[in-house]
């Protein structure tokens, strides 16, 4: 039997391709510098918006390192649960989400807005990837993949969120 280990870095690296990490760090640095220039208070200090974005940057970096250390095969075993949770979140936002500008797309938690279509898109891609990894190229597989993308796409269109729907259609 194969044992899946959760906290083992791939080939001793944390995060993968060094060139990609440098490119992302450069873009992030330019973004932070630009935000500082745009939101700089008149007293010369640091704006609250810049501090908030840096906090999100740190949270994202920690999540990146954690995700890079998780064996991707765990996602395959959880793909059905992830997909159903994504669909459930999309249905729940239609019923209990916050409505702004004629769209019901977000859950507001404190001062943060959560957009469940982001999670649902990722869950759909993980589910279809797990299916594709079985290498079944039959018409039935094509129909199943189409259905797996169609359900979240239609729910996202009901919110309405055309942009997220287009991303899912492009991923299909």
The stretch 65-76 carries a mean pLDDT of: 80
Biggest CA–CA distance in the chain, Å, is 65
Which pLDDT score is estimated for 16? 67
Statement: residue 49 has pLDDT above 90: no
Which pLDDT score is estimated for 47? 85
> Which residues have C-beta within 8 Å of that of residue 115, sequence separation ≥ 6?
105, 106
* Per-residue tokens: 145: 């993949």
Q: Residue 72 has what DSSP assignment?
A: T
- Determine what percent of the chain is predicted with pLDDT higher than 70: 85
CB contact at 8 A, 136 and 85: no
> How far is CA 149 from its chain centroid?
16
Query: In angstroms, rounded to a whole number, what is the distance separating the alpha carbons of residues 86 and 104?
Result: 16
The stretch 156-170 carries a mean pLDDT of: 77
With bands split at pLDDT 50, 70 and 90, how would you rate the model's confidence at 2? very low
With bands split at pLDDT 50, 70 and 90, how would you rate the model's confidence at 14? low
0.85 exceeded by pTM: no
- E strand or H helix at 55: helix 48-68
CB contact at 8 A, 106 and 100: yes
Query: In angstroms, rounded to a whole number, what is the distance separating the alpha carbons of residues 51 and 56?
Result: 9
CB contact at 8 A, 35 and 50: yes
């Amino acid at each position: 039997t194969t044992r899946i280990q959760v906290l083992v870095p791939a080939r001793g690296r944390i995060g993968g391709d060094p060139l990609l990490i440098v490119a992302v760090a450069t873009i992030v640095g330019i973004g932070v510098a630009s935000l500082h220039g745009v939101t700089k208070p008149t007293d010369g200090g640091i704006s609250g918006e810049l501090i908030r974005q840096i906090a999100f940057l740190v949270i994202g970096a920690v999540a990146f390192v954690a995700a890079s250390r998780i064996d991707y095969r765990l996602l395959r075993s959880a793909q059905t649960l992830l997909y159903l949770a994504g669909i459930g979140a999309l249905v729940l936002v239609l019923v209990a989400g916050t409505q702004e500008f004629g769209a019901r797309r977000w859950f507001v938690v404190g001062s943060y807005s959560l957009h469940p279509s982001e999670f649902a898109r990722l869950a759909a891609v993980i589910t279809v990837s797990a299916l594709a990894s079985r290498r079944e190229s039959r018409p039935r597989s094509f129909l199943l993949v189409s259905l797996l993308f169609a359900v979240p796409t239609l729910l996202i269109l009901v919110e309405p969120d055309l942009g997220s729907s287009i991303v899912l259609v492009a991923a299909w």
